A and B are shown apart, each in its own frame.
Chain A
Amino acid sequence: QSVLTQPPSVSGAPGQRVTISCAGSDSYIGPDYDVHWYQQLPGTAPKLLIYDNINRPSGVPDRFSGSKSGTSASLAITGLQPEDEADYYCQSYDSSLSGWVFGGGTKLTVL
């Protein structure tokens, strides 16, 4: 069981907005720890989508946005497109383990 909790699946029609939540605890998502988001298309390595809670790497469309409040974070995708269909993971840092922690992943289906 993952230490960061995500919904197993979300779906939306093209053009709609969806959000994916990531629930943690003070040990993983708190004032000292940033949350990062990844998109994994079938058969490919994960790709960094959002870093440090709200920032987009170069080349990531502004349809993707992140937020964090307390011990939870969210990824929002607006203007859904068929190519957004993928698995999405949140990730943070566990200071007690001095390593990475991942959410269980959320499968996005574009209807």
Chain B
Amino acid sequence: EVQLVQSGAEVKKPGESLRISCKGSGYWFASYWIGWVRQMPGKGLEWMAIMYPDDSEARYSPSFQGHVTISADNSISTAYLQWSSLKASDTAMYYCATVRYTWSGIDFWGQGTLVTVSS
């Protein structure tokens, strides 16, 4: 059974750094694309970044390029999304999701990680 388990909720201050994680199981982690999707409070889904763990190819939405970094550790089947300097506007739920092909429907999602950035 394919599962994506995300790290727990975070409360941070503006300017702080953060890394959240997404651990995959039940499939060949390195051979599936893994992406991150933001959902701000009361808003819709926004694609942020996607990565192919086997060769570390990463692609970013222009809206998020330069503000977040996607990475993966194949040895522990875990993907990461990190910020070096959080803003209050980063407050949102973040979902990881995995697909065999980038154009495929996304049938596996993590449970979400709530990030709250507040002074």
Interface of A with B (CB < 8 Å)? 2, 33-34, 36, 38, 40, 45-48, 50-52, 57, 87, 89, 91, 93, 97-105
Interface of B with A (CB < 8 Å)? 35, 37, 44-47, 49-50, 59-62, 95, 102-107, 109-112
Question: Would you call A99 and B103 a contact (CB within 8 A)?
Answer: no
Q: Across the A-B interface, give the 3 residue pairs with the lowest CB-CB distance, nearest first.
A: A51-B105, A36-B105, A100-B47
Besides A45-B95, A45-B111, A99-B50, 7 new A-B residue pairs in contact (Cβ under 8 A), listed by A number: A45-B110, A46-B109, A51-B104, A51-B105, A57-B105, A98-B102, A99-B35
14 A-B pairs within 8 Å (CB atoms) are namely A36-B105, A36-B106, A38-B45, A51-B104, A51-B105, A87-B44, A97-B59, A98-B59, A99-B47, A99-B49, A99-B59, A99-B61, A101-B47, A104-B44
Question: Would you call A38 and B106 a contact (CB within 8 A)?
Answer: yes
CB distance from A5 to the nearest CB of B (A): 12
Given known contacts A46-B95, A102-B45, A93 and B107 CB-to-CB distance under 8 angstroms? no
Given known contacts A99-B102, A100-B35, A51 and B47 CB-to-CB distance under 8 angstroms? no
Given known contacts A99-B47, A100-B50, A48 and B62 CB-to-CB distance under 8 angstroms? no
CB distance from A28 to the nearest CB of B (A): 11
Q: Which residue of A lies closest to B35 (CB)?
A: A100
Question: Would you call A89 and B44 a contact (CB within 8 A)?
Answer: yes
Q: Which residue of A lies closest to B110 (CB)?
A: A45
Question: Would you call A105 and B45 a contact (CB within 8 A)?
Answer: yes
What residues on B are CB-neighbors of A52 within 8 Å? 105
What residues on B are CB-neighbors of A89 within 8 Å? 44-45
